[in-house]
Amino acid sequence: MAQDIPNNQYDFSFAGSEQNLYYFTTHLEIIYEVKFVPSSYLFFDYIDDHVNAFEMVISVVDNPIGKRIPADPLTEPTIRAIFYDFFRSLDHVIIYICDSSDGRQEARFRKFTNWYYKNIAVDLFKMDARLPDGDRFTLLSGILSKKHPHFSQFVELFKNLAEADK
Amino acid sequence: METTRKSMTAREKIRRLVDVKEQAQREAQERYRTDPEIRAVIEELKRKNGARHTK
């Protein structure tokens, strides 16, 4: 479903109700896929109910310029728009892990955090965990509504994830 | 990628989150190469994008 999009972001399409797939392309024809992968297993140790948790995975599926992707002011608002298109505040929990494959996870984490604090919907809550992974860190964030029925289990989960190396 | 309920340590959960992300990124590139429906969606987005930026 292509949207009627304002000029400060790219058009995007929802392309798979079973796999929760979104796509957008930039003016340099860099193609992104954003996928929301069901991840209720995160809550198995905390609650018997099913929790609609999803891992948000952002992938560059084609980069025709063949080198590091230059900063693009429309990419961040497009990903934010996709997030809000998918997110159902009283139902969903979203987990995001910063890609560390090129060692730039700290920059991505700052961007993600900046986006969150700049344009937060009023009732959303974010927690972060930062874990040593060899000579790098794994950085992850979780977002949900403060009114989510499993808010307290989410806080407990993230406290435990943040202390996983201790 | 859901499974039956199984207790996991925090470290196992983080490992799985990372594995899922890496697998999803590999699958995304494969889908783009091999799935004609996805290619059609992307070509339409490119067309719209091109039209917006040449206005």
Residue B5 is assigned to a structural domain of this protein: no
Q: Say if residue A110's pLDDT is above 70.
A: yes
> Would you state the structure tokens that stand for residue B46, as one six-digit string?
């490119």
Q: Judge whether B48 lies within some domain.
A: yes
B47 touches chain A (CB under 8 A): no
- Measured between CA atoms, the residue of chain B closest to residue A157 is B10
More confident residue, B5 or A81: A81
Interface of A with B (CB under 8 A): 2, 7, 10-13, 15, 21, 23-27, 29, 31, 33, 35, 37-42, 44-45, 55, 57, 59, 61-62, 95, 97, 99, 101, 129, 131, 133, 138, 140, 160-161, 163-165
The pLDDT of residue A103 is 72
Q: Are A12 and A83 in contact (CB under 8 A)?
A: no
Contact assessment for residue A154 and residue A93, using Cβ atoms and an 8 Å cutoff:
yes
Its domain, for residue B17, covers: 10-53
In a domain, B18, yes or no: yes
Closest-CA distance, B24 to chain A, in angstroms, reads 7
- Any chain A CB within 8 A of the CB of B4? no
How many domains in chain B? 1
Q: Between residues A104 and A59, which one has the greater pLDDT?
A: A59
User: Residue A118: pLDDT above 80?
Assistant: no
Q: What whole-number distance in Å separates Cα of residue B34 and Cα of residue A69?
A: 24
- The separation between the first and the last C-alpha atoms of chain B, rounded to the nearest angstrom, is 42
User: From the CA of B42, how many Å to the nearest CA of chain A?
Assistant: 7
Domains along the sequence of chain A with CATH: 13-162 (3.40.630)
More confident residue, B4 or A38: A38
Give yes or no for residue B5 having a pLDDT over 60.
Answer: yes
B22 is a domain residue:
yes
Mean pLDDT of A39-48: 92
Nearest alpha-carbon partner for A22 in A76, A86, A100, A71? A86
- Asked whether residue B1 is domain-assigned, the answer is no
Chain A contact present for B28, CB below 8 A: yes
Examine residue B44 and state whether it is found in any structural domain, yes or no. Answer: yes
Q: Distance, in angstroms, between A42 CA and closest chain B CA?
A: 7
Burial of A65 (0-12, 13-18, 19+ CB in 10 A): exposed
CA B45 to chain centre: 16
Residues in chain A within 8 Å Cβ distance of B32 = 31, 33, 61-62
ipTM: 0.89
User: Which of B6, B12, B15, B20 to probe the A interface (max A CBs under 10 A)?
Assistant: B20
Is residue A92 scored above 90 in pLDDT?
yes
- Domain assignment of residue B35, yes or no: yes
Q: Is B34 a member of any domain? A: yes
- Answer yes or no: is pLDDT of B40 > 80: yes
